[in-house]
Structures are given as C-alpha cells and as structure tokens.
Structure 1
Amino acid sequence: MNALILASEAASNGMDPHTFAVLVGGGIFAALMVLLLITVSYTNVGNRHDAKPEPEDTHRQFKTHTPHSH
C-alpha cells in the first residue's frame, strides 16, 4: 500500500491539496460575503423619503403623458 501512495504522489503534478482546499474555501467565503453585503444593503429600503410628484421638465427626452379619462 505504501508503494501505491508513493507512486500516486510521484505521478501527480497538480497543486497541493491544502492549497486547493484554501482556494475552494476562500472562494466560498468570498461568495457568501458578497451575498451578505447584498442582503445588508436592503435593510435601508424602509428609510427612504416620501414620494413626491415629479416636477415638469420641458427638456426631458422621453415625455410621460398625463393620464386622461375617456
């Protein structure tokens, strides 16, 4: 069995398993931290200012039409 382990270690030319584990764990940690920051950014949604009617802008490129009843 020892010869098999030594042969597999000699034949493998990949990265160290510890390095691979740190890279995978670090990637998962970074992804979860990004998701955490996205989640925390939504906690401020209720603190927005009250909605006010938009002032008339005569130079606006895309005009919004006022609704009228038929």
Structure 2
Amino acid sequence: MLSQQIATIVAAAGGSGHEELAPLIAPPLAIGAIMFALLMVMLFITLSYSNLGKRHEAVEEHVDPHRQHPNKHDHGQGH
C-alpha cells in the first residue's frame, strides 16, 4: 500500500518533465568570461606584490632584554 503511494507520488512529480529555469543577467558564456577576467585581474594584483620580500636583505632583530613584552623567539640570547 505504502509503496504504491510512493510510486504514484514519484510518477506525478516526474511527470511534468520540464521546469522553467530562473532568468539570467547575461548568457552563461558571458558570465563565465567575466568571472574568469575578474579572477585573472586579482591574480595579477596578487603577483604584483610578490617582489616585496626581495627589496632588501633581512635585518637581524636587536635583542632588548628590557622590553616590556619581549618576544620568546630569541632562544635565551637576551639574558
């Protein structure tokens, strides 16, 4: 009995065969091209900052034992 009702519901739900799609702002290919172009612009902006770490040589941090909140990364060199 229950399986017959389920089969009837499934047949009625699948019987229409066509659902109306939601309207789009532009054709799908145009939306994809705009998204791709936007991601490429963001990629080039990101890559333009890649040389910031190569401007000069790294300078060693001065170990100051009198700082109020000394970092714990000096491995005891400040004592």
More helix by share: 1
Give the counterpart of 1:37 among 28, 45, 55. 45
Q: Secondary structure at the match of 2:49?
A: helix
Q: Tell me, which stretches of 5 or more residues in structure 2 are unaligned? A: 1-18
Aligned match of 2:68 in 54, 59, 63?
A: 59
What 5-or-longer segments of structure 1 have no aligned partner?
1-10
* Cα displacement (A) at 1:33: 1.1
TM-score normalised per structure 2: 0.48
RMSD across aligned positions (CA): 2.8
Deviation at 1:45, TM superposition (A): 2.6
Q: Deviations over 1:4-59 (max 9, x none)?
A: xxxxxxx753445x812221111111111111111111123321365143241521
Among all aligned residue pairs of Structure 1 and Structure 2, give the percentage whose two residues are the same amino acid. 5
Greater relative CO, 1 or 2 (CA 8 Å, sep 6+): 2
Moved over 2 A (4+): 11-16, 52-55, 61-67
Which residue of the partner structure matches residue 36 of structure 2?
28
Which letter does structure 2 place at the counterpart of 1:38? T
